[in-house]
Amino acid sequence: MTYARFRRVLAEMVDELPPEFMRGLQGVHAIEEAKPEEDFVDVWRMGEYLDPGSEQFLGAGEGLGRHVALYYGSFVHVAGDDPEFDWEEEMWETLTHELRHHVESLAGDDSLNIEDEVVARDFERRDDDSPSERRSWRWPWQRK
């Protein structure tokens, strides 16, 4: 999938979302670069919910606002040359995961952050597993 198509598909997905999920969200962005996970080797962050934090963030009310980013380059790394990689399914999974972070943030709920931390700890303990088994984890991603 090209970056241009990635952007178009993401925009179509966002257009299909109920407006309630977009409340308080300043944007959903397709970022061309890959985003490696700092604590892992050859593991890529597929998407991210960017929350400004407190009202004092950057000294101005809502700060930069709330955003969701999907990293095209990370999808490229994970897909590799796998003809079975389902770009649209993985994009949808990532988008809805990040939107859940957004909705929970608005509700003051930290459940998904806690789940993500548990998955990351489990992922670290699975170092001796095959990459194909680790690749199935939603966060973080391991390239084949």
Residue 69: name the closest of 121, 33, 107, 117 by CA.
33
In the chain, the number of structural domains is 1
- Domain with 64, as residue range(s), is 3-142
In 10 A of CB 74, how many CB atoms?
Answer: 25
The mean pLDDT of the chain is 80
pTM over 0.85: no
Q: Using one digit for the tens of pLDDT, what is the confidence trace for 48-82?
A: 998 876 555 555 555 578 899 999 999 999 999 99
Q: Using one digit for the tens of pLDDT, what is the confidence trace for 30-51?
A: 999 999 988 777 888 999 998 8
Say if residues 101 and 66 touch (Cβ distance below 8 Å).
Answer: no
Give the CATH number, domain containing residue 78: 3.30.2010.20
